[in-house]
Amino acid sequence: MSSESKTSGLFTTESATLPSGKPTWLRNPPRHVAIIMDGNGRWAMQRHLPRILGHRAGASAVRTIVTATRAWEIPYLTLYAFSWENWSRPRHEVDALMALLEEYIEREIGTLIQKEIRFSVVGDRSRLPAAVRDKISWAESRTEGLDRMVLTLALSYSGREEIVRAAARFAIDVQKGLANPDDLSEDRFARYLESTTLPPPDLLIRTSGEVRISNFFLWQIAYAELYFTTTLWPDFGEEDYRRALTSFQERKRRFGKTEDSPGGLSV
């Protein structure tokens, strides 16, 4: 499904007609899907359109994938929407992206509440415009306590910075006598991450043909399955998503063990 065939509101695409519950082909879905949404600019350039129209088409793809995720009962979806490095883009493009973000939250909040989807954000909010920070806080407050699905946007996000800030928070606790360096473990350190309330992603999808992680969830994706597609994000529809999930189900997830080890094989 291309972005041109999608309708304007959340939960109004073809996927909204799916029967409730998981479809028969989704035998063992991931609990948490994370997506690096890439290719909006190239999508616009291919059509000789301004880049902002590519981002608007990308927002339409977000609706499609959120719709499918909720319909297929996958409880966590995280979208890499704006990286720390994206601040280096031209000012007019950054401003347009921030305005589009506000518009998206305002337009979709009602449906998120109706479908019991909790909205959250990870990243350095201090760099976001005040109006965007206020809109995020408003949406988080309005959806607090909803538990059918968690939609997280990574905004002004850097995986390295998240780890650095977690280390700084741990160091402060050590100084205050609230933590002991000798007691530091992976599990304890993970509790200092901003994304600590999210389970690690089981599946990481990247669109547009690029085959790299781009500083996203560096700690969290240690054992995630990676799926790369040449499809540009605005064109990434339900069938593309289904192919990624089908590929995930075909993987043998050993987590460092052998197939004949207890718990060494799961899909």
For the chain, 267 residues long, the average pLDDT of each consecutive 10-residue run is 39 42 88 98 97 96 97 97 95 95 96 97 96 97 97 97 97 96 96 96 98 97 97 98 97 71 49
Give yes or no: 182 in active site: no
What pLDDT does 255 receive?
A: 67
Retrieve residue 237's tokens. 């529809």
What pLDDT does 253 receive?
A: 79
What pLDDT does 162 receive?
A: 97
Q: Among residues 38, 202, 235, 240, which one is catalytic?
A: 38
> Residue 19 in contact with residue 12, Cβ under 8 Å?
no
What pLDDT does 267 receive?
A: 47
Burial of 185 (C-beta count, 10 Å sphere; 0-12/13-18/19+): exposed
**Does the global pTM surpass 0.85?**
yes
φ and ψ of 228, to 5 deg:
-115, 140
Burial of 155 (C-beta count, 10 Å sphere; 0-12/13-18/19+): buried
What pLDDT does 22 receive?
A: 79
Give yes or no: 215 in active site: no
Distances (CA, A) of 240 to 61, 117, 229, 233: 11, 23, 9, 10
Q: Among residues 40, 86, 215, 260, which one is catalytic?
A: 86
Beta strands across the sheet bearing 225-228: 117-122, 149-157, 76-83, 32-36, 203-206, 225-228
CATH number, domain 3-12+30-250, options 1.10.1040.10, 3.40.1180.10, 3.50.50.60, 3.90.1150.140: 3.40.1180.10
